[in-house]
Amino acid sequence: MKHPALRAVLTACLAAASFAGHAAEAKPGVAEKLYQANCAACHGVKMEGAVGPSLGDHAWLHGAPTKANLIKIIGKGVPEKDMPAWSPALNATQIALLADLIAANAAKPAVALTPEAKAQQTVPDLNGFKLPKGFHISVYANQVSAARSMVVSDSGVVYVGSRKAGKVYALVPRADKQTADVLTVAEGLEHPIGVTLLNGALYVGEISRVIRFDNIDKRYAQKPSYEVLKVSLPNDKWHGEKVIKAGPDGKLYIPVGAPCNVCDVEDSRSAKIYRMNADGSQLEEYARGVRNTVGFAFHPTTKVLWFTDNGRDEMGDNTPSCELNVAPKAGLHFGFPYCHGGVVPDPDFAKGRSCEEFEPPAAKLGPHVAPLGLSFYTGKQFPEAYRNNVYIAEHGSWNRSTKSGYSVRLITLYNSKVVTDTAFIDGFLRGEEVVGRPVDVATLPDGSMLVSDDYGGRVYRVTYDGK
């Protein structure tokens, strides 16, 4: 036996086997108990497989799962492959009971996994991703269920929000610096998609409130307590999830989406971006006419706010475009619900208004691509041409007849004007198969880039080695 971990499991198993040996009569449940005591550690409590193979519907390694075959393999084991021989630790009756149990399990129709569950269980073939020459992609952390926005602390801990999982995670770098352990900082929260750091505290945006974990880098592993900010914002469920970002002015920026596909929100508190002090005081409107922004960032040198906005639905596959916007000052109107994508008047709401009245997008990203998080790359690892440009995670369309988005885009800038919009990472969509949906982009202290994926529940890492 090669692996110490397996040896430990086996020692425990054999101890349990001799204990279980007293209860060898064929009572119902005996076989199940034998299985749980001796086999589950390696084959999974539901025979779904762990360090040993699944004992359900799979490509059987040692011939068809007939009773005779199973008795043989359980008795003799495959010692060179870490499957112990169970004779004589278990007697012939016990082995026969186990063979019956496994044969019955093997005959059960396989539980069909949803495509999403499948994506979570299987890391996609990394060669299926396409990046520019010299860039490489790997998995930084798995089992980051529903991973959404990310923020990186100075010490290199990555805080990640989630949606339905209700959790905030901390990705703590391992010694190799190429992968991370996943810890749960908090759970049971209401779609805590937004995370940001300010003055050493982690702020989390939920649908109905903003919470703050002080001194987070010292406390993430201890299920830390939190404070609830005294701020009241609309908490509609539709487009009600809230990213949150600390601005260069020391304020917190937070959006409230339109509670609809398209509706009149002009005199309401929705479809706006707000900002407030770190304690929630002095809440003020910063931008309006913003349908549903799920990501923003501040330009590294101009300090100006850039944000994505998701275009309205139900105008067909090809219009209107989602937007990348720039808000250099407070009080600008970005068009919703009157004008979409800078040029498309709304068929119901545009009456008497013209697109010229509103701020045009800095870039039209395409219809239904669902741009979420964006980030300026300020690291030193990527070549010059890749720095201080915008990276946008496009979650991908949910209702377009041909899927679009599912990509991380590189938007190059010259003097804060958009020059090009090209794919930086493609391959989250393979044919019609979705293997991941990008949500946010962040940079680690070593200059490598992280991309969160809420579909596969993992975080990828992109490095550059110039080869």
Q: Which residues bind ligand HEC (CB under 6 A)?
A: 6, 9-10, 13, 38-39, 41-43, 51-53, 55, 60-62, 70, 73-74, 78, 81-84, 86, 98, 102
Which tokens sit at 187?
């759970």
Which residues, 6+ apart, have CB-to-CB distance to 82 below 8 Å?
A: 1, 2, 3, 6, 10, 42, 51, 52
| Shortest distance, position 48 Cβ to ligand HEC, whole Å | 13
Which residues, 6+ apart, have CB-to-CB distance to 260 below 8 Å?
A: 238, 239
Please identify, using beta-carbon distances, which residue of 32 and 348 lies nearer to ligand HEC: 32
Please identify, using beta-carbon distances, which residue of 55 and 287 lies nearer to ligand HEC: 55
Count, residues in the chain? 467
Of 185, 179, 243, 127, the C-alpha closest to 459 is: 179
| Shortest distance, position 262 Cβ to ligand HEC, whole Å | 55
Please identify, using beta-carbon distances, which residue of 49 and 345 lies nearer to ligand HEC: 49
| Shortest distance, position 78 Cβ to ligand HEC, whole Å | 4
| Shortest distance, position 346 Cβ to ligand HEC, whole Å | 59
| Shortest distance, position 102 Cβ to ligand HEC, whole Å | 6
| Shortest distance, position 113 Cβ to ligand HEC, whole Å | 19
CA gap 412, 297 in Å, rounded: 15
| Shortest distance, position 240 Cβ to ligand HEC, whole Å | 47
CA gap 108, 88 in Å, rounded: 29
Q: Are 453 and 459 a contacting pair, CB within 8 Å?
A: yes
| Shortest distance, position 143 Cβ to ligand HEC, whole Å | 22
Please identify, using beta-carbon distances, which residue of 95 and 439 lies nearer to ligand HEC: 95
Please identify, using beta-carbon distances, which residue of 52 and 367 lies nearer to ligand HEC: 52
What b/e string do you get for 272-282 counting C-beta neighbours within 10 Å, with b at 16 or more? bbbbbeeebee
Please identify, using beta-carbon distances, which residue of 62 and 417 lies nearer to ligand HEC: 62
Pairs from 198-206 (Cβ < 8 Å, separation ≥ 24): 198/246, 198/250, 198/252, 198/278, 199/278, 201/278, 202/151, 202/159, 202/168, 203/229, 203/244, 203/246, 203/252, 204/161, 204/168, 204/244, 205/161, 205/241, 205/242, 205/243, 205/244, 205/254, 206/242
| Shortest distance, position 76 Cβ to ligand HEC, whole Å | 10
Please identify, using beta-carbon distances, which residue of 43 and 437 lies nearer to ligand HEC: 43
Please identify, using beta-carbon distances, which residue of 9 and 186 lies nearer to ligand HEC: 9
Please identify, using beta-carbon distances, which residue of 10 and 410 lies nearer to ligand HEC: 10
What b/e string do you get for 383-408 counting C-beta neighbours within 10 Å, with b at 16 or more? eeebeebbbbbbbbbeebeebbbbbb
Which residues, 6+ apart, have CB-to-CB distance to 9 below 8 Å?
A: 41, 42, 51
Of 407, 344, 402, the C-alpha closest to 371 is: 407
